[in-house]
Amino acid sequence: MKIPTVDEKRSNRLASRTFSSLGNSDFRSLWFGMLLLMAGVNVQMLARGYLTWELTKSPIAVVVVGAGFAPPILLFSLYGGAAADRYARKRIIQICQVGMLVITLFMAVSISTNTVTVFHLVLASIGQGALWAFLMPARQAIIGQLVDENQLTNAVALNSSGMSLMTVAAPGIGGLIYGFGGAAATYYVISVLIASAIVFMSFVPYAVPIRKAGRRMWADIKQGIIYTRRNRTVLMLLLMSLSTALLAMPFRTLMPVQIEEVFHMEVEALGLLMSMIGVGALFGSLVIAGLSKASHRGMFLLVTTLISGLAILLVSATTSYVVAAIIMVVIGIGDSGRRSLNASLILEETEEAYRGRVMGVYMMNFGLMPLGALPLGFIAASFDVRLAFAVAGGTLFITTLGFAILTNRIRRL
């Protein structure tokens, strides 16, 4: 019998640590449901953006539809976070998933009957944003109820890995479905994916709500805001998340414009480009899942965010599709750090009783995305989409450098 070498033992321990949370059957059901839901979300992002571009040929319209989900997230995330601390998180997730299924089926029927307009796309984006404001705080907070405290970072990173996996696979497949079957077929496929996610969520157990719904919800929200303001480490992490929401996320809404105006290609090429972001994000999030608390995770967060800014700046300078695809992998690696690591550090630094409300504040960052997306859309419409990318990437790099230099709260994590 072969005796494992020291390197083999170390590799086995790393692999075991990387996937340890999936040994929990409850978390596993949540994880597989998340895979299916995020597959639908990623295909829908591609379909919605490209359909808007086909209908209007307007960069501003693409940005408006792509950012339509953001205002309701900004308005309702605090309520979503408070609800996640008051009511059964599983029930909140299930209700929101059913709502998303209804909206997706409505869009599929509208496209099939040739009655779809940009107004429908905007309304669908707004409706899904409102549901997302309640779904995501509950989904993030429920992880802490399903796994042990020492597995929390691993579970959040694996959650992000699954999202990244769908960012890899879903847009490419979605682009092919859209290219060969059209928009209606794509939306019917999305509906099947969301319905399957609802089935998996039924296997996740109910957990006792963290708080009783005895007093008014606004009092709980106010208490959560006070807690967030006093927890300086969480506050710094939230501010850093805000900078990426304003600068790193909006550039994706302009990718349909980049595909046609810079690369002179079509929807299949857009799907592949978005998938390359997922390749990098999947790799990065798996690395993060294997990090221990002694791994200087704060510095890792800062470095990966700097990488995101630099990579977006680089993609603005190329007219080569192949070069852009390679850079998108690097963007994905940076994306995994700023998303999964930031969220897991926030959860770790937050008391269980406040996790839902803090994640509600975290989700508000996504609601502020139009503050970055709309100016970039105007730059793309008035000048060039590459200039819009350069502004986003350069500003993100400088802002993150400021966090690294001016505060040690993130560096020491």
For residue range 204-245, list pLDDT tens digits in order.
Answer: 888 766 655 556 777 888 888 888 888 888 888 888 888 887
Q: What DSSP line would sit under 196-250, residue for residue?
A: HHHHHHTTSPP---SS-S-S-HHHHHHHHHHHHHH-HHHHHHHHHHHHHHHHTSG
Is the separation of the CB atoms in 327 and 318 below 8 Å? yes
Cα 167 from Cα 182, distance rounded (Å): 20
Q: Estimate to the nearest angstrom the gap between the alpha carbon of 182 and the chain centroid.
A: 26
pLDDT class of 6 with cuts at 50, 70, 90: very low
- Asked whether residue 413 is domain-assigned, the answer is no
- Asked whether residue 142 is domain-assigned, the answer is yes
Cα 205 from Cα 26, distance rounded (Å): 7
What pLDDT digit, counting tens, does each position of 162-174 carry?
Answer: 776 776 677 778 8
The count of domains in the chain is: 1
Residue 189 has pLDDT above 50, yes or no: yes
Query: Where does residue 367 rank: exposed (0-12), middle (13-18), buried (19+ CB within 10 A)?
Result: buried
What pLDDT digit, counting tens, does each position of 314-355 carry?
Answer: 999 888 999 999 999 998 888 776 777 787 788 888 887 788
In this predicted structure, what is the pLDDT of residue 1?
46
Q: In CATH, what number is assigned to the domain containing residue 376?
A: 1.20.1250.20
Token code pair at residue 365: 């960052």
> Which residue range is the domain that position 351 belongs to?
22-406
Cα 410 from Cα 407, distance rounded (Å): 7
370 contacts: CB under 8 Å, gap ≥ 6: 67, 70, 71
- Asked whether residue 139 is domain-assigned, the answer is yes
- Asked whether residue 7 is domain-assigned, the answer is no
- Asked whether residue 4 is domain-assigned, the answer is no
Token code pair at residue 266: 């079509």
Is the separation of the CB atoms in 356 and 141 below 8 Å? yes
